[in-house]
Amino acid sequence: MKEISCKLLVIGAGPGGYVCAIRAGQLGVDTVIVEVGKPGGTCLNVGCIPSKALIHAAEEFEKVAHMAGCDSPLGISVTVPVLDLARTVAWKDGIVSRLNSGVAGLLKKAGVKTVHGWATFRDGKTVEVETETGMQVIRAEMIVIATGSAPVELPFLPFGGPVISSTDALALGEVPKRLVVVGGGYIGLELGMAFAKMGAKVTVVEALPRVLAQYDAELTRPVVKRLSALGIEVMTGAKAKGLSTKGDALLIETSDGKNAKIAADKILVTVGRKPVTEGWGLEQIDLDKAGRFIRIDDQFRTSMRGIFAIGDVTGEPMLAHRAMAQGEMVAEIAAGHKRSWDKRSIPAVCFTDPELVTAGLSPEEAKARGEIKIGVFPFAANGRAMTKLGEDGFVRVVARADNHLVLGIQAVGQGVSELSTAFGLALEMGARLEDIAGTIHSHPTLGEGFQEAALKALGHALHI
């Protein structure tokens, strides 16, 4: 049995874990990171990156298919395209592999020692790792738990056979003819829309009264319109009940209480994610919980001295960039720097078609704090959106009525994910409506909609 000691031990090499380890290494902290799989975690390997690759491929295929099926306003005509999904998946896997190697290289460059295997706590300072070459014991002054999350499995629809998770969906060798998506949240709609563009007949089953319920109805209206245009049937107020006896259909209860059956080749279950807290020996250290998650303070310290937790195991929002920011901060605390969590904004992006971006407070949340001003600018009046055939959507700015401090920014539209950085920066810097309105925005760009929304809130929009 081998034993090593270090100052900082990071368990999990996902976005939070590997950023924490890299930053700690840069600061001269003796750091070890443990990962049972490939570096990058869910996001890089079976989440953010591969799903965006598949979504992009689907968008490109749909564009070409549309040009083959009718007179394109762009004047382009092509023959009917053919999709080789296996080749698409291979391309996606190539991107993931390159990024895996990149993360591993960055860890090595920062002087971080990587141990491959499954870590289990012995006590608050000691972890044992089952590796291919035997048991490795690691003793550390400080430990960071960054074990991430996993798809929630429904007991009456266990994964296997025709029932697949988002991870399975990203590795399919062919497009299913009939795909039923259980869960109308962002993961289900992102993948459901992608497969619909690739030729699948898609049905979405959502128990709540509407899809994307975490967003306000005004923001999601363009997405709902696009779902219909893609031929996706959306069944709201409907509950999945189980798999048919033959395994070729999903049994549901409709919104009016009737039993029904939806034929399906694959059933994609996307009803949320859960923190990965089992199998790590956490019962040996008895950390306080906040529901299913590990309870932390504003420095990500757990209830046990010297043990930190970051990322999805600490609760919502389960976003890679939140975990990264947390990881960087913990590394600096480990190096003796004074840091605490004080973020005004963690932007969130939904990569549906069109895309959704939210940063800061929603109009409803802002109203609960006092009188507000709202400015909305539609992309139908934006030249760049017109030239990209993406006029559906808008930018919305929410600010205090008295001093015009910006409280929240939302957008829906083609490519608006790239505006999330500007939104987050404005909130983090404490921008007021006048700051945004007075900033010269490049023309023609979608970003002009941000300036115009601020102008609208101030009462003098220029282009509407």
- The yes-or-no verdict on residue 1 having pLDDT over 80 is no
463 is catalytic: no
Cβ(216)–Cβ(362) under 8 Å? Answer: yes
- The yes-or-no verdict on residue 136 having pLDDT over 90 is yes
Cβ(41)–Cβ(13) under 8 Å? Answer: yes
- The yes-or-no verdict on residue 216 having pLDDT over 90 is yes
Tokens of 259: 């039993």
- pLDDT, one tens digit per residue, over 72-111 is 888 998 898 999 999 999 999 999 999 999 999 999 999 9
Phi and psi torsions of 443, nearest 5°: -125, 135
Residue 294: its pLDDT value, please?
Answer: 97
Which of 4-13, 114-123, 339-348 bottoms out in mean pLDDT, i.e. has the lowest?
339-348
Distance CA 275, CA 149 (A): 4
Confidence of residue 344 (pLDDT cuts 50, 70, 90): confident
Tokens of 269: 């279950």
Distance CA 259, CA 264 (A): 16
Distance CA 381, CA 384 (A): 9
What is this structure's pTM?
Answer: 0.95
Among the options 441, 443, 460, 463, which is catalytic? 443
Cβ(216)–Cβ(411) under 8 Å? Answer: no
- Say if strands 259-263 and 249-253 run parallel, antiparallel, or are unpaired: antiparallel
Distance CA 260, CA 250 (A): 8
Residue 69: its pLDDT value, please?
Answer: 72
- pLDDT, one tens digit per residue, over 312-342 is 999 999 999 999 999 999 999 999 999 999 8
- The yes-or-no verdict on residue 6 having pLDDT over 90 is yes
- The yes-or-no verdict on residue 374 having pLDDT over 90 is yes
Average confidence score pLDDT of the chain:
96
Cβ(454)–Cβ(442) under 8 Å? Answer: no
